[in-house]
């Protein structure tokens, strides 16, 4: 079980994590929460139903990692500008981005809460046991973390990390690359577990 998820009866998943892995996962999830930003909670005394009709932004985020997490819904081939598609994307974003941000925030919060609830074993680690619902939140958060780190590393879809395996230890990107590859392995085993 060390280093990869295994199925639990009832549709959940479990993985053994050491203290360093727990600390890294928690830190990354908190950083993701900071990147996504706080939720739009209704002000004290305001109607909470009004927040359901709050419109989101119409422009894509300027931060490349956020733009990867919240991409345009419509677009032509790379570099092709189309005013009509840009307008459709802005309209779609206006009505969906707040909900998407809330879902991504919820996913990251589940990760933090699950890790905070762990009880250490005698070997300085713990076995994380997830319910079926929590497993789906973890899957979403692991995906978002990989997309964010991959964007920061400028990983293209085509190379999917080929050059990353050959970085010298002296390269300052090496820790981020190691986190990116490790998260990919966790994500892959969680997907396999959920599909079994």
Query: 181-195: per-residue pLDDT in tens?
Result: 999 999 999 999 998
> What's the pLDDT at 46?
67
| Predicted pLDDT at 34 | 96
pLDDT tens digits for 17-67?
A: 999 999 999 999 999 999 998 866 555 666 666 555 567 767 778 899 998
Work out how many domains the chain is built from and give that number.
1
The domain in which residue 125 lies consists of 6-44+99-195
Say if 58 falls within a structural domain: no
> Would you say residue 138 lies in a domain?
yes
- Cβ burial of 142 (10 Å; 0-12, 13-18, 19+) is buried
Radius of gyration of the chain from its Cα atoms, rounded to whole angstroms: 19
In-domain check, residue 70 = no
Q: Let me know if residue 153 belongs to a domain.
A: yes
pLDDT tens by residue, 110-168: 999 999 998 766 567 899 999 999 999 999 999 999 999 999 998 876 655 567 778 88
Q: Are 190 and 138 in contact (CB under 8 A)?
A: yes
- Is the pLDDT confidence value at 100 over 80? yes
CA 117 vs. chain centroid, Å, equals 20
Residue 1 has a pLDDT of: 43
20 inside domain? yes
Q: Which sign does the torsion angle of CA 192, 68, 95, 34 carry?
A: positive
pLDDT at residue 12, as a whole number:
92
Please give the model's pTM, rounded to 2 decimal places. Answer: 0.85
The answer to whether position 104 is within a domain reads: yes
């Amino acid at each position: 079980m060390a280093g990869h998820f295994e199925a639990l009866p009832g549709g959940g998943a479990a993985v053994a994590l050491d203290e360093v892995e727990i600390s890294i996962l928690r830190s990354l999830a908190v950083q993701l929460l900071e990147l996504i930003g706080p939720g739009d909670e209704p002000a004290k005394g305001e109607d909470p139903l009004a927040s359901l009709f709050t419109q989101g932004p119409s422009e894509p985020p300027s931060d490349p990692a956020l733009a990867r997490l919240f991409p345009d819904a419509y677009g032509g081939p790379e570099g092709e500008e189309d005013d009509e598609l840009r307008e459709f994307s802005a309209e779609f974003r206006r009505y969906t981005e707040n909900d998407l941000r809330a879902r991504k925030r919820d996913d990251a919060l589940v990760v933090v809460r699950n890790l905070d609830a762990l009880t250490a074993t005698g070997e300085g680690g713990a076995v994380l046991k997830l319910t079926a619902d929590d497993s789906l939140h973890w899957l979403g958060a692991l995906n978002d973390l990989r997309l964010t780190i991959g964007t920061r590393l400028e990983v293209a879809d085509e190379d999917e990390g080929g050059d990353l395996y050959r970085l010298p230890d002296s390269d300052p990107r090496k820790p981020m690359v190691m986190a990116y590859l490790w998260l990919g392995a966790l994500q892959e085993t969680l997907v396999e577990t959920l599909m079994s």
